[in-house]
A and B are shown apart, each in its own frame.
Chain A
Amino acid sequence: MNYFTLPLEEWTNTFINEWLLPVFGGFFNGISIVLSWLVDGVTSTLLFIPPELFALLIALLAWKLSGRNLAIFALAGFLYIGAVDIWIESMTTLSIVLVSTVVSIFIGVPIGILSAMNGRVEQAVRPTLDFMQTLPVFIYLIPAVLLFGLGGVPAVIATTIFAMPPAVRMTNLGIRQVPSDIIEASQAFGSTSKQMLMKVQLPLAVPTIMAGVNQTIMLALSMAVVASMIGAPGLGSIVLSGISNVNVGQGLVGGLGIVVLAIILDRMTQGLTKKTAV
């Protein structure tokens, strides 16, 4: 089938090495500084809190958002994390997840709002999101490394790209599914489009947006192991070293840590979603 030769590989490399890096190197450097400051800040804050106090705080929050069962599970989970001595790694993973999620929301929700307000934006955004979600994750690990080096920052970038689509999609969906009679009522009383967005559409979209945030967090956690391949510290690197040393026990220890974090975060955000539902 090779009727003609498509030198996509050279083009991409030339584009990145001879144009993107020289021109935007400073820009990427800036992002890198900000993100690493964020990740380091969050990690050291999480580690600064005594583990016992942290476990207690999360358990209380879990109780408030979800109920007693989750609170008990959270305590048991953190007991496990302490017992297998992966506290530092767990907090590092948690901080990468938190930073990626916050970045995803800050970028994703406004894009979602724009695409809900404007059909053309939606037409452009939708295939981009499909592309982001279907492109094998490993492929954007490479430019992430090229542009941001190894470590926590490229991990946050790759995780954000992978985890952002639900935030965009669910924001768009949440705003679009506000019943038309409510939109009409708001219009009939003379709302400007900004008032309608702030006072009617967004408040009514909050439960759907929260469901998107929940998915974003879950996707971000699922990137932990993959991101460790580009030097992201945390639970993922334990699993990765378990794989490379054929050490099943080590893999299980790290893997269960991810599961514990996933369940706590998932149930807590689901509880929050329910609480925001009208």
Chain B
Amino acid sequence: MSKIQINGLTKIFGQNEKAGIEQLRQGKSKDEILRDTGATVGVNQASIEIEEGEFFVIMGLSGSGKSTLIRLVNRLIEPTSGEVMIDGSDIAKMSKQNLIETRRKKLGMVFQNFGLFPHKNILDNVAYGLEIQEVPLEERQEKARRSIVDVGLAGYEQSYPKELSGGMQQRVGLARALANDTDILLMDEAFSALDPLIRKDMQDELLGLQNKLGKTILFITHDLDEALKLGDRIAIMKDGEIVQTGTSEDILATPANDYVSEFVKNVDRSKVLEASQVMRKPEVLISTKDGPRMAIRKMEEAGVSSIFVVDKEGRFQGVLTIDDAIQCQEKGAVLENVLITNIYQTAPDTPLADLIGAAVDTKYPIAVVKEGMLLGIISRVSILSGLVLGKEQEEVSNT
């Protein structure tokens, strides 16, 4: 069962809801419906499934209905039709009491403009969700303190929101949502009001928290780069409809229509592509149990002057140049002693952008290593071709 399952969710603003729904079913566009009935379509028959622990991003420009959609999920806005199943029960049909209970126990929310309570200090702001559940004072302050530490604001408990910078205020907003310990976090343009540097920090920290806490996150943004960076999967919205759902690679490689491809055109691929997508298997690979003679022969066969070396379990050891191999053979020395070990290593999920500098500086290709195992290597050429070709390169490296 999906954590959140949205089926045919529709919101029509204005008087003529029924006529609007009828026309939507007939497939009329948002503009036609506005002209004919005066009703504004906020969200048009959206369907999404979000799995437990997934980071799901909804991306759209202003007016695309993304903020309405996230408010339909916790019913800050009443849906016109459709259902929102949270852990299998439909929030759209819940009684008021159950709705309040579900919001308290299952749905945390972070807002674009923070929505902090100006008359409460940081500690009380963060403890608010627990306060209204009548959790005893000491217990809720304890929990609030912990989530304040989690977002890196320890020491500011007694400050008031207006005394903090925007980035810090949003940390408070995040802490407030975390303090309730809900499975689901709804984040409405949570970082859009922050300046770029702070935004990047917050994104990284959110990803870290997500790894640690395993929340199911529904994140709204108008920034495609942010969506590609954060989302396990992304849904792109336009005029209240979801036009495409998929992983970042799906969306970059096979845009569903012109609208999406227009968006994707200007994306900085270096931030989206990861090391594992451009790496290739090394041409030559020997095990340390083979002697220098074997290494020399392999290099001659492949016509290369250096070779990546792994042990018999496949763990990365270093690089052996042909000169060192020949000397080693003449002197009868042990191969391990002549390996070059200060090779630049990287994890498979490192964005390409972070590798460009290293690729320029280093003499040898970059080693892609996971838990000590050599997965592949990245040369300067493969970075360049990855940036230019993207998808094609990825397919080549998989073969």
Contacts and interface: CB of A to CB of B under 8 A. Distances in A.
A184 B76 contact: yes
Nearest to B130: A189
Contacts of A199: 128, 131-132
A188 interface: yes
B118 A278 contact: yes
A184 B132 contact: no
Interface in B282-320: none
B115 A184 contact: yes
Interface string B117-157: 11100000000110111000000000000000000000000
Interface in A195-221: 195, 199-200, 203-204
Contacts of B117: 182, 185-186, 200, 204
A182 B115 CA distance: 5
Interface centre among A185, A204, A278, by most chain B C-beta atoms within 10 angstroms, is A185
Contacts of A191: 100, 132
B91 to A, nearest CB: 12
Contact of A181 (B115, B132, B176): B115
Interface string A45-74: 000000000000000000000000000000
A139 B361 CA distance: 93
A44 interface: no
Given A185-B111, A188-B107, A204 B132 contact: no
A2 interface: no
Contacts of B132: 189-192, 195, 199
A228 to B, nearest CB: 42
A215 B233 CA distance: 57
Interface residues of B, number: 26
Given A195-B132, A199-B132, A188 B116 contact: no
B79 to A, nearest CB: 16
Nearest to B71: A184
Contacts of B119: 203-204, 278
B118 A190 contact: no
Contacts of A200: 117
Given A189-B176, A189-B180, A190-B102, 14 more contacts: A185-B111, A185-B116, A186-B128, A187-B76, A188-B103, A188-B111, A189-B104, A189-B109, A189-B132, A190-B129, A191-B132, A195-B132, A203-B119, A204-B117
Interface of B: 74, 76, 100-104, 107-109, 111, 113-119, 128-129, 131-133, 176, 180, 186
